[in-house]
Amino acid sequence: MLTKRIIPCLDIKDGRTVKGVNFVDLRDAGDPVELAKQYADIGADELVFLDISATLEDRATTLDMVLHVAEQVNIPFTVGGGISSVEDVDALLQCGADKVSINSSAVKRPDLVNELSDKFGSQCVVVAIDAKEVDGQWKVYLAGGSIPTEIDLFEWAKEVEERGAGEILFTSMNHDGTKNGFANKALARLSEELNIPIIASGGAGNIQHFIDTFKEGKSDAALAASVFHFGEIPIPDLKKDLKANNIEVRL
């Protein structure tokens, strides 16, 4: 059985880690390189860095930060934000990133998923999908959750899998920052309809929420930010409790 992964997410703005609620009201959570090293040391399985203002401001993710993180950590890490070309990805991988996350750029130009998968392998390509449930329909949002579309979450997830995505990082905007639990019904449907790993994001508030998303949501990995950044859920404690609930994790 594949082990379930615990992934701290570091949202980066102006070189600092930030955290908000429902994608707004940001507050400072520390230096990303220092946080990354701490997480690697205490048992995080992977890390995700999302430059949340990169797409809006139309600039590339800071390569300096990626270099420094690569020097400090020995676990895989994914970088996203403002990535729109093979050249962008090549630069990030050269600096030490293991995977890249694309979101808005994939929706605007779906062939990008094929190009990146063909060039670097599907294991490098994470497609992040921010979606909101409105009147029972899950719709995709772009640019850090600020631009609504009429694209269906499940249809888009299937399409990017067919185009070569290696993983889906699904963030429920309804749940993000609320600490009320993950969107497990939608996650379970994604897991049933797709053959690639699904990373749950948005809503972690306590250890039970992680247990629920692995059991009910059938998630392959769970991503969280503020509960880790502000010490509300220590990762070693979380993993012990997951193990005690017969969920395979790397201790």
Q: Which of 92, 95, 129, 99 is nearest to 117 (CA)?
A: 99
E strand or H helix that includes residue 6: strand 5-13
Domain that holds residue 112: 5-244
Q: Which of 229, 179, 173, 185 is nearest to 208 (CA)?
A: 179
- Give how many domains the chain has, as a whole number: 1
CATH number of the domain at 144, please: 3.20.20.70
In a domain, 21, yes or no: yes
The distance from CA 196 to its chain's CA centroid, rounded to whole angstroms, is 14
The larger pLDDT score, comparing residue 59 to residue 157, is at 157
pLDDT at res. 55: 52
Instruction: Give yes or no for residue 111 having a pLDDT over 90.
Output: yes
pLDDT at res. 226: 84
Orientation of helix 32-42 relative to helix 235-244, angle to 10°: 40
pLDDT at res. 20: 56
In a domain, 37, yes or no: yes
66-106 tens-digit pLDDT: 999 999 999 999 999 889 999 999 999 999 999 999 999 99
Segment 132-160 shows an average pLDDT of 94
Instruction: Give yes or no for residue 58 having a pLDDT over 70.
Output: no
Candidate list 11, 45, 88, 212, residue with the active-site label: 11
- Token pair in block for residue 214: 């692995």
Annotated catalytic, 130? yes
- Token pair in block for residue 126: 């994470």
Instruction: Give yes or no for residue 23 having a pLDDT over 50.
Output: no
Distances 204 to 3, 96, 210, 216 between C-alpha atoms, Å: 19, 28, 7, 14
Beta bridge partners of 4: 249
Beta bridge partners of 132: 139
Beta bridge partners of 127: 102, 168
Determine the residue type at 213.
T
pLDDT at res. 56: 47
**DSSP-derived 3-state class of residue 159:** helix
Annotated catalytic, 237? no
In a domain, 249, yes or no: no
pLDDT at res. 71: 96
Beta strand segments in 103-204, E: 125-134, 137-142, 147-152, 167-172, 198-201
Segment 223-239 shows an average pLDDT of 93
Backbone angles phi, psi at 168, to 5 degrees: -115, 130
Q: How confident is the model at residue 15 (pLDDT cuts 50, 70, 90)?
A: confident
Distances 206 to 60, 82, 110, 165, 226 between C-alpha atoms, Å: 34, 31, 36, 30, 11
Residues 150/139, Cβ–Cβ less than 8 Å: yes
153-209 tens-digit pLDDT: 999 999 999 999 999 999 999 998 789 999 999 999 999 999 999 999 999 999 999
In a domain, 251, yes or no: no
**DSSP-derived 3-state class of residue 50:** strand
pTM: 0.92
In a domain, 115, yes or no: yes
- Percentage of residues in the chain with pLDDT exceeding 70? 91
In a domain, 250, yes or no: no
pLDDT at res. 161: 98
Candidate list 45, 88, 130, 212, residue with the active-site label: 130
- Token pair in block for residue 38: 């701490």
SS3 content of the chain, % helix, strand, coil (to 5): 40, 30, 35
